[in-house]
Amino acid sequence: MQAVAYIRVSTDEQAKEGYSVPAQKERLEAFAKSQGWTIIDYYMEEGQSAKDLNRPEMQRLIDDIKKGSMGIEVVLVYRLDRLTRSVLDLYKLLKLFDDNKVAFRSVTEVYDTTTAMGRLFITLVAALAQWERENLAERVRMGMAEMARQGRRPGTKEPYGYNYVDGSLIVNKTEAAIVKKIFDMYMRGYGLRTIVKWLNNPEHPVPSKTGRPWYENTVSYIITNPLYVGKFVWGRDPAEIKKHKTLFRAVAPEYIYDGSHEAILDNDTWEQAQFKLKKRKNMPPRLASSNYPLTGVLKCGLCGAGMCGSISTQKNKSGKRKVRWYKCGARDHALGCTMKYMRAETVEEKVLEYLSSITNSSDLHILADTSLRDKGNSKEQEEIASVNKEIKELTAKKKKWYDAFEVGVIGIDDLRERTKSIADKEVFLRERLSEIELVEEFSWTPEERFQMVKNINWAWDRATPEERKELIRELFEKISIFPTGEMEYEFI
């Protein structure tokens, strides 16, 4: 058989009898001769520790075995600890040897993978490696949990806006300015796609943390990340993260920790961004940033269906031009509505004319009328009371199951199953409660609404399509349009 000899000695072992490089080499050559084997190469390392596999000669040995060009059939060592002192590393090496049909032999011990006893040894080592892996993972989890309790974010990957300095998150001022710009653009009505285009603009590209282009998911990650208000998320089940498609939405309070790092944003800005994100999420597809600012609010006066955008090409003396229309969403159905197409520019101009007219007439009371607002607030208060009642009932039910477990009526598996179901419902209810409270907190006052309407023409001329849509949705609950062009308005 063609053998290779691996010889290692650490600095502390240099002077020990039998451990020197010449002594190991002599014993290995004598053993190979007694077996009729030929040593075709030596891998000798002096002053190297066996704590890991990052050793020059060890890496050369691994590469030679993987290549298979030398025809290595067996690896010889003086003792097992010459190869490695880690069970995990030993398992990796033995698996490498086995995958490449290379045997392993220690000349002073019974470790010989060319025999049935040796193969049993590999099985035992694999079991030990699994045990060590699990223990290591448990120790890592405990260490990370302790870090989280101390307000230190576990992990080594630097989030955008921060750098790790001596294990602590320190604000990167250049990146922090970009984080603030992203939030500012989002709050002004720009969609994720528009923000990404600005970040990737070839004339003034903004470098990402990785150097790769920006994507919508990257921007969404920043907007939803509580890290930027001095908090961090830790401890969630990876399956839950996958279920919600994103890391930070639908996060239960017990997974959010107060961090010791400096915040980049204030709480009000971040919470308003979350509120806006939820509003956009609830919009029908493509309405959040389309070129039809009235969609989602404009309704057919005949059937009540939503009016959607449509575009046609018309010919004239100067060539072809595209014309925008609003059409009833039920028009093309089997029992289609007979509502005709309405020119988008004409409809939008009528809305602006109406808003301009009420700022100069006695109709101003429409904007300042608090009766509808009070009615809305009353409904929200009722829902808050209802949600709080359900949460209280769930807490009582959870206590009942814990009491049943303590007296032995149910087992631990039943307890886990029942309390998990309760916990899932509680997370949903608390998220709903948070949404209602955000709606109350960030509702426009009559005075703010009045100022918005008073300056509507100035704002409309300067607004992006996203911002125009946001203005309409902040003012109107519904606008109904009829075939005659007559319109009815219902304010929020």
Q: Among 177, 270, 265, which residue's Cα sits nearest to residue 224?
A: 270
Q: Hey, what are 284's tokens? A: 């029908």
Q: Are 252 and 434 in contact (CB under 8 A)?
A: no
SS3 content of the chain, % helix, strand, coil (to 5): 50, 15, 30
Output the CA torsion 480→481→483→484 (10° steps): 110
Q: Are 487 and 354 in contact (CB under 8 A)?
A: yes
Question: Which of helix, strand or coil describes residue 226?
Answer: helix
Q: Are 73 and 104 in contact (CB under 8 A)?
A: no
Total Cβ atoms within 10 A of residue 413: 8
Output the CA torsion 223→225→231→236 (10° steps): 160
Count of residues making up the chain: 492
Q: Hey, what are 275's tokens? A: 């509120």
- Phi and psi at residue 158, to the nearest 5°: -75, 125
State the Cα angle at 30 between 28 and 35, rounded to 5°.
95
**How is the beta sheet containing 476-481 ordered, strand by strand?**
298-300, 476-481, 487-491
Q: How far is CA 392 from CA 1, 386, 460, in A?
A: 75, 10, 47
Q: Are 245 and 251 in contact (CB under 8 A)?
A: no
Q: Is 10 a catalytic residue?
A: yes
Rg (CA), the chain: 35
Q: Are 221 and 246 in contact (CB under 8 A)?
A: yes
Residues annotated as part of the active site: 10
